[in-house]
Amino acid sequence: REDQEEHYHAQKETESELRQLIKSQKHQIELLEQKIFEISEKVSETRSQDDEPKGVKGLRSTLRSLELSEPIVQSILKKAVFELSYDEQDDPDTIYEFALREIHSLIHVEMPLFSKTDVQDESVVTVLLSEASVGQTSMAMKLAALQENAKVIRFREGQVENNQHDFTAKVFNLDITNVSSLAHLMSEARKVIEEKRPLLLDLRLEFKEVNESKKFIETLKRSFNKVEFLLNLSSLHSELYNRKTLSKFHKYLNGVNFTYVDQCLSFGSILNLHYEHNQLPLKFFGTGAVVPEDIEMASTERIMAELFKL
């Protein structure tokens, strides 16, 4: 009987080892198949690129050097291959001009709501949103300086800010009120609406929970008739960080502003973000720290000039 038990255990151990060996072999086969697939893809891509016209090859390298995302690069190249003849694709100047036109068509800019003539007799509310320090306080004052008799309400949760910007506000006679609660903000906003004055809300949403920020925005959307929500992103922040912020709030927005454009090292990053959310027009560029001069309307020409250093 003991011999039977030993034989049984030995048989079980052998079966277990065989199962492990089979599992390991399967894993090795899967890895090998994956490797073969990757190699075949690279070979296929190399062959297809070897057959490409010189102009297309050169354009691909140029677009990637501008740090444009692969979806943008592929979109332009596919359209070029579809619309241009082989000789045109082979000519660097022709295909370069084609790419310029295509990139130009990708950029969507728009005038702010407060500048439209059909709302001049009403109080227009411009809401600036951000989650971190992106130069939004300066942006709010610049926008206030563009509008006659505008009021700025600056919201910072849990504290009422008094900083160096207050001196600038006094110099340019800007009407700014600091608040730290939604109730206080709405109370001040109602007074401005009754007076039919332009209103700018400078909101830094630093709530611990994302839902709190969204509820805050939804409350404001319901509270005003003529309102525009603009997200402020810094050109100095990483593309990944800006993408996360934009993805979080995009469904509430009417447009996007970029600050610190004068210090931007990669306009390709701005174009990548804009391409992913092209339904949101670019509104303003912050071009420096000086109030009120260092601001300009977002323009396709500025992006193209900086992107290609024209």
147, exposed or middle or buried, with CB in 10 Å at 0-12, 13-18, 19+? middle
How many other C-beta atoms can be found within 10 angstroms of the C-beta atom of residue 263?
A: 12
Helix or strand holding residue 264 (H, E): none
Place of tokens 């931007």: 264
Residue among 10, 94, 103 nearest 54 (CA): 94
Confidence at residue 13, expressed as pLDDT on a 0 to 100 scale: 74
Q: Are 310 and 66 in contact (CB under 8 A)?
A: no
Joined together, the tokens standing for residue 273 give: 């973000």
In angstroms, how far is the first alpha carbon of the chain from the final one? 91
Joined together, the tokens standing for residue 187 give: 């109370």
Among the residues of the chain, which ranges form H helices?
2-50, 54-65, 70-83, 86-90, 92-106, 136-146, 165-171, 182-194, 210-223, 239-249, 267-276, 300-308
DSSP 8-state symbol, 285: E
114, exposed or middle or buried, with CB in 10 Å at 0-12, 13-18, 19+? buried
Confidence at residue 30, expressed as pLDDT on a 0 to 100 scale: 80
How many other C-beta atoms can be found within 10 angstroms of the C-beta atom of residue 172?
A: 12
> What does the pLDDT profile of the chain (310 residues) look like in tens digits?
556 666 666 677 777 777 778 877 887 888 888 888 777 766 655 545 556 788 888 899 999 999 999 999 999 999 998 898 888 888 889 999 999 999 999 999 999 998 875 655 778 999 999 987 888 989 999 999 888 889 999 998 765 555 555 666 676 778 899 998 889 999 999 999 998 899 999 998 877 777 888 888 999 999 998 999 999 999 999 999 999 999 989 999 999 999 999 998 889 999 999 999 999 999 999 998 888 888 999 999 999 999 987 5
Q: Are 201 and 220 in contact (CB under 8 A)?
A: yes
Confidence at residue 233, expressed as pLDDT on a 0 to 100 scale: 95
- Those residues with Cβ within 8 angstroms of residue 86's Cβ, 6 or more apart along the chain or in another chain: 53
Amino acid at 28: Q
Confidence at residue 4, expressed as pLDDT on a 0 to 100 scale: 60
d(CA 216, CA 291): 29
Confidence at residue 47, expressed as pLDDT on a 0 to 100 scale: 46
